[in-house]
Structure formats: structure tokens, C-alpha cells
């Protein structure tokens, strides 16, 4: 059986072919920019905006030798990570596990220049640190708003995995409001989970949205798994940075609750006329803590905080900045609202 028409094949780089696009333009005349889809353009634009502010960090830490040699003998351990400049005068945000306790910190910026850096302060409980370099006016990254982040939106990670400078990976925001245990043992709240690939050396680098605004600081991966990576939310970082710059450390209040952001059932929001659609679910309460003495229990949903009925999103910052205040926690328990004074 034969066909009355024959198919014609053309190589895409064949100058003699006369293949045309549906719009009538020659295929080989299309530029690279028109071939990029919206996803690619978003990743390209975001990485071009942020990459000049991303730095490579090399550190030397002192470690006591054990098992051999004179008592108290000091050895050196070397490590590396990433960070990003957030002020023109050279302030850099990175991870505490990268820069904390370092005897020497060397920073390489995007154009290859190397600088000695000073540690301004670090907070192991949120795995954040601020270091500073002195040099000409620096390219900076724009800090975004992690409260506006939504599950499923584009997430782009930039860093220096295994020393490969300014490596870009992309994925989506997989989940919000995760809790992650820091090396200090304390839970980091409001952590962003993403499937953008992270590797050793990415620590401290920025996680950015499609506009190039930083929404998180890359901090951890689950080694046996694929696509389960975590970043400290940038709103948390803003509060920590402010205290590190003012005090050199973070001063915290304490109520003894571990919690996780969680949505509220719509019927609860409407029945109690709540101004929010999410709260903090109490995951655990430490025995003998102010929260325990106030009657908070595991499973409670905190929906408002203090006498001014602040939204729960403000609670962590309120507690961190005002250690001596007494708080009124408004909780939802078994389809009713209750109030507990925590002090």
C-alpha cells in the first residue's frame, strides 16, 4: 500500500530546509530567548539577579585531638559552605554550622575576589550566622517575605555544593511550617521544605522565589532521601539578624512549647469568627514549663496571642523580644475556644 503524500524530514540545523513555524517564521531564525518557556525564564532571571550576591565560604575550626598526643593538643578542621550578601557594606547571612566557632573565615565573592571575614554573631538554635567582609560596594540579595510563600510555588537554590561555585537548582516548595531540630537540640520552627536539590556546600545559600527575592536560608538535607531539603524561613532570619547585629546573640523568652503551623478547619474559622485560617498546633509541652503550668496540652491549636489578640504568626517574635511579659494564649480545643495565661 502506498501513500499519495510523502513525509519530508529536515535537520534543524540544515540551512537548505524550508521548514516554517506555524506563524510563518523560519525555525532557525528564532532566538534562544523565544525558545525558553516561562519556567526557564523565571529560573534564569532569578538566578541572574541573585548569583552576584552569593558567596563561597571557607572556614578553619580548631578541634581538640582525642586519643593521641599531648592533652589539649589542638587540630584543625576545614569546611566550606555558602552565604549571600544582604547589605552593600558586606554583611553576609549564612548558617551557624558553617561559620560558628570558626578560627578563620575566608569569603570568595562572585568575581573571584577573596576577603577575610569576621563573625558578627551566630545562633545555633536557628542555624543562622552573620559575618562581615570589608570591600567595595557589594551586590546584594533582596530579602523577601516568607509569609507569602505557598506550597507548590517555584523555589530556586543557589550555592556552592562540593566547591562548585554558583550552582543553581530548581524545584518547588514542598511544604511549609515544618519543625527541624537544630544541632543544639532546639526545634527550628517555620521551616520551608523544598525538593530543589541541595548538597554539602549549599548550606547557608539562598532559597529564592521566581522574582529573585530570598525566602529562606538553605540549612539541611536528609541524606538517604531524595528531594527532601529544608531552609530556615527568611522572616525568622530577619528577627535573628536584627538581634545578632544589636546584641551579638539572640535573647529569647521561654514558654516550653514545640509547635507546628497547621490550617484551621473552615467551620471553626467561621463559627468563632477568627481573623486567620491557620494556627500553631502544640506538638509537645515540656514538663514544669510555663506552658505546662498554664494548662496547654499536646494537640491544642493556638489561634491568637496576648491581650491584643495578635495573630499567631507574630507570637514567636513577640516572645523573643519581650521575655518578661505575660501572655494570653487563645487556644482551640475540641471545638471550643479557651484562654490560658502563660508567664
CATH code of residue 118: 2.40.10.120
136 and 272 inside one domain: no
Query: By three-state DSSP, how is residue 98 classified?
Result: helix
151 and 243 inside one domain: yes
Burial class of residue 290 (count of CB atoms within 10 Å of its CB; 0-12, 13-18, 19+): buried
Q: Is residue 45 part of a domain?
A: yes
pLDDT at 28: 46
- Tens digit of pLDDT for each residue in 122-155? 999 999 999 999 988 899 999 999 989 999 999 9
φ, ψ (nearest 5 deg) of residue 213: -80, 140
Q: Is residue 209 part of a domain?
A: yes
Give the end-to-end CA distance of the chain in Å, rounded to a whole number.
89
Q: Active-site positions?
A: 97, 127, 203
Distance separating alpha carbons of residues 268 and 293, to the nearest angstrom: 26
DSSP track, 23-60 = TS-BGGG--HHHHS-HHHHHHHHHHHHHGGGEEEEEEE
- Whether pLDDT at 194 is above 50: yes
268 and 231 inside one domain: no
Section 114-121 average pLDDT:
94
- Tens digit of pLDDT for each residue in 236-282? 999 899 989 988 888 776 777 777 778 888 888 888 787 778 777 88
pLDDT at 30: 56
Q: Is residue 160 part of a domain?
A: yes
Q: What is the pTM of this model?
A: 0.70
Q: Is residue 23 part of a domain?
A: no
The x, y and z cell numbers of residue 183, run together, are: 544541632
Q: Is residue 186 part of a domain?
A: yes
Task: State the average pLDDT for the chain.
Answer: 79
pLDDT at 227: 80
105 and 224 inside one domain: yes
Question: Could you tell me which residues come within 8 angstroms of residue 272 by beta carbon, excluding any fewer than 6 positions away?
Answer: 303, 332, 337
Confidence of residue 317 (pLDDT cuts 50, 70, 90): low
Distance separating alpha carbons of residues 329 and 10, to the nearest angstrom: 70
Confidence of residue 217 (pLDDT cuts 50, 70, 90): very high
290 and 220 inside one domain: no
80 and 183 inside one domain: yes
261 and 245 inside one domain: no
Q: Which of 31-35, 152-156, 309-313 has the lowest mean pLDDT?
A: 309-313
**Domain limits at 311?**
257-342
Query: By three-state DSSP, how is residue 226 classified?
Result: coil
333 and 227 inside one domain: no
- Do 214 and 208 touch, CB atoms closer than 8 A? yes
238 and 286 inside one domain: no
Last residue of a domain, one of 220, 249, 278: 249
103 and 41 inside one domain: yes
Q: Is residue 1 part of a domain?
A: no
Last residue of a domain, one of 222, 249, 276: 249
Q: What CATH number does the domain containing 318 carry? A: 2.30.42.10
- Pairing mode, if any, of strands 301-305 and 102-108? unpaired
The x, y and z cell numbers of residue 257, run together, are: 512549647
Confidence of residue 341 (pLDDT cuts 50, 70, 90): low
Q: Is residue 227 part of a domain?
A: yes
Last residue of a domain, one of 249, 266, 294: 249
88 and 181 inside one domain: yes
266 and 245 inside one domain: no
- Tens digit of pLDDT for each residue in 49-97? 999 999 999 999 887 555 444 555 568 889 999 999 999 999 999 999 9
Section 304-316 average pLDDT:
52
**For the chain, what is the domain count?**
2
Q: Is residue 17 part of a domain?
A: no
Amino acid at each position: 500500500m502506498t501513500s499519495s503524500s510523502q513525509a519530508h524530514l529536515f535537520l534543524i540545523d540544515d540551512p537548505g530546509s524550508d521548514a516554517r513555524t506555524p506563524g510563518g517564521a523560519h525555525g532557525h531564525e528564532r532566538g534562544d530567548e523565544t525558545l525558553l518557556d516561562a519556567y526557564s525564564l523565571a529560573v534564569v532571571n532569578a538566578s541572574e539577579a541573585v548569583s552576584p550576591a552569593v558567596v563561597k565560604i571557607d572556614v578553619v575550626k580548631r578541634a581538640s585531638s582525642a586519643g593521641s598526643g599531648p592533652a589539649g593538643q589542638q587540630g584543625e578542621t576545614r569546611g566550606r559552605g555558602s552565604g549571600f550578601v544582604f547589605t552593600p557594606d558586606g554583611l553576609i547571612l549564612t548558617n551557624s554550622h558553617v561559620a560558628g566557632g570558626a578560627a578563620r573565615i575566608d569569603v570568595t565573592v562572585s568575581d573571584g575576589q577573596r576577603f577575610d571575614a569576621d563573625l558578627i554573631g551566630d545562633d545555633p538554635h536557628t542555624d543562622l550566622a552573620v559575618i562581615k567582609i570589608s570591600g567595595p560596594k557589594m551586590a546584594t540579595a533582596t530579602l523577601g517575605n516568607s509569609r507569602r510563600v505557598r506550597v507548590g510555588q517555584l523555589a530556586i537554590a543557589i550555592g556552592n555544593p562540593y566547591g562548585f561555585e554558583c550552582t543553581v537548582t530548581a524545584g518547588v516548595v514542598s511544604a511549609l511550617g515544618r519543625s527541624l531540630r537544630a544541632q543544639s537540640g532546639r526545634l527550628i520552627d517555620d521551616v520551608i521544605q523544598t525538593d530543589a536539590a541541595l548538597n554539602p556546600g549549599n548550606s547557608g545559600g539562598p532559597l529564592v522565589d521566581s522574582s529573585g527575592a530570598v525566602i529562606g536560608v538553605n540549612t539541611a538535607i536528609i541524606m538517604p532521601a531524595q528531594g527532601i531539603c529544608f531552609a530556615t524561613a527568611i522572616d525568622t532570619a530577619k528577627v535573628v539578624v536584627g538581634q545578632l547585629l544589636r546584641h551579638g546573640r539572640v535573647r529569647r523568652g521561654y514558654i516550653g512549647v514545640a509547635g507546628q503551623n497547621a490550617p484551621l478547619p473552615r467551620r471553626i474559622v467561621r463559627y468563632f469568627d477568627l481573623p486567620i485560617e491557620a494556627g500553631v498546633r502544640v506538638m509537645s509541652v515540656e514538663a514544669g514549663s510555663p506552658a505546662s503550668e498554664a494548662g496547654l496540652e499536646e494537640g491544642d491549636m493556638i489561634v491568637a496571642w496576648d491581650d491584643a489578640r495578635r495573630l499567631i504568626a507574630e507570637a514567636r517574635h513577640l516572645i523573643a523580644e519581650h521575655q518578661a511579659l505575660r501572655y494570653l494564649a487563645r487556644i482551640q480545643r475540641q471545638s471550643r475556644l479557651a484562654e490560658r495565661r502563660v508567664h
